[in-house]
Amino acid sequence: MTITRRQTLIMAVGAAVATALPFGAFASVEDHITEFTGGAELGNEGLTLTAPTIAENGNTVPIEVDAPGAVSIMVLATGNPTPAAGTFNFGKLAGSQMASTRIRLAQTQDVMAIAKMSDGSFVQATQEVKVTIGGCGG
């Protein structure tokens, strides 16, 4: 079979769309990170993100962040339509830089936490959560 010019064009457009879609979601996660860190480098030590490896119900996934010495911790659900999940800002009377809550996950994805430390550095922790039933259903 010979491939016509038109077919080539259609394939090229299809490939471009296919690559552009996941990249679009990824860029938005990047935007959130840049906005929070100002482009600073991320360390890997000092932040503990606790989340289940398998979440049967994506509507309520318990997560916990713990970063001694942090000023604030941002949580991102990288595979959600809107990746930001929440930001914890610790005040003067915080007993520890720990907090737990429940979040929604649309699908199996990496949950990411970034902590801003009191010395101005940033650390991150990531964990993959497998979701059986997604939490953004309609």
Partner 1 sequence: MAENVKPKVRVPKSASAGEVITLKTLISHPMESGQRKDSDGNVIPRSIINRFTCEFNGETVIDITMEPAISTNPYFEFEAKVPEAGTFTFTWYDDDGSVYTESQDIAIS
CB of 62 to partner 1, least distance (A): 9
Residue 43 sits at φ, ψ, to 5 deg, of -85, 175
**Residue 86 in the binding site for partner 1 (CB under 8 A):** yes
Place of tokens 């860029």: 27
Distances (CA, A) of 137 to 22, 100, 110: 19, 24, 19
**Residue 113 in the binding site for partner 1 (CB under 8 A):** no
Stretch of 8-16, 23-31, 44-52, 93-101 lying at the interface with partner 1 (CB under 8 A): 93-101
Residue 27: helix, strand or coil by DSSP? helix
**Residue 19 in the binding site for partner 1 (CB under 8 A):** no
**Residue 8 in the binding site for partner 1 (CB under 8 A):** no
Q: In the numeric block, which tokens belong to residue 82?
A: 């809107």
**Residue 24 in the binding site for partner 1 (CB under 8 A):** no
C-beta of residue 82 within 8 angstroms of C-beta of residue 112 = no
Q: Which residues bind partner 1 (CB under 8 A)?
A: 59-61, 77, 80-96, 98-106, 135-138
